Structure 1
Amino acid sequence: MSRRVSLFLLLFGVWSWVIWITFARNLWASSQSWAPDGSATSFFVVHLLLTIVSFVLGTIIGVLGWRGLRARRRAATPAP
């Protein structure tokens, strides 16, 4: 994997976390998320699942980018 692709994947993973943390905070504070009795609405549950899946995928993509950068760095380092 090229350095450019690895860096893109790593930055995409970080960006994904930033965006979805903001989304999760807004979801928690939304009046649509909670029923009058204090229970979670289906709106909240669906969007929470979407957020969790996005965190997992963002993490996987970021780790792939990080590993790609590390592998290129190791390949560029001469063996003793």
Structure 2
Amino acid sequence: MKLSFRSALFLLAFGVWSWLLWPTFIRNIWTGERSWEGGAPTAYLVVHLVIAVVSLVLGTVIGVMGWRGCRASRR
């Protein structure tokens, strides 16, 4: 399958956006009041960390697809 340059650029932008958004979210959740109880992580923290990590992985995969698509369409 060949992506158009425009589609590849969109995927690349999505990957970059994921890396701008989710690390900030992780920092905010980590320091949140509901994240720790008696020094142990709460279910709230665990669930949100899983969501953030999965989103970062998917954002990375999508960004790499976009990067490869951009490089291939310029040839």
TM superposition score category, shorter chain reference: over 0.9
TM-score normalised to structure 1 length: 0.88
SS at match of 1:32: coil
Structure 2 gaps, min length 5: none
Match runs of 1:57-68 below 5 Å: 57-68=58-69
Q: Taking every aligned residue pair, what percent have the same amino acid on both sides?
A: 59
**Equivalent in the alignment of 2:7:** 5
Q: Name the one with the larger helix percent.
A: 1
**Residue 72 of structure 1, CA deviation:** 1.2
What CA deviation, in whole Å up to 9, does each residue of 1:25-47 have, x standing for no partner?
Answer: 10011010000x20000000000
Which residue does 2:43 correspond to in 1?
42
**Structure with the higher strand share, 1 or 2:** 2
Unaligned runs of 5+ in 1: 75-80
Q: Which amino acid aligns with 1:72?
A: S
> Aligned pair 1:24/2:26, yes or no?
yes
Q: Which runs of 4+ in 1 moved over 6 A?
A: none
RMSD: 0.6
Query: Match for residue 54 of structure 1?
Result: 55
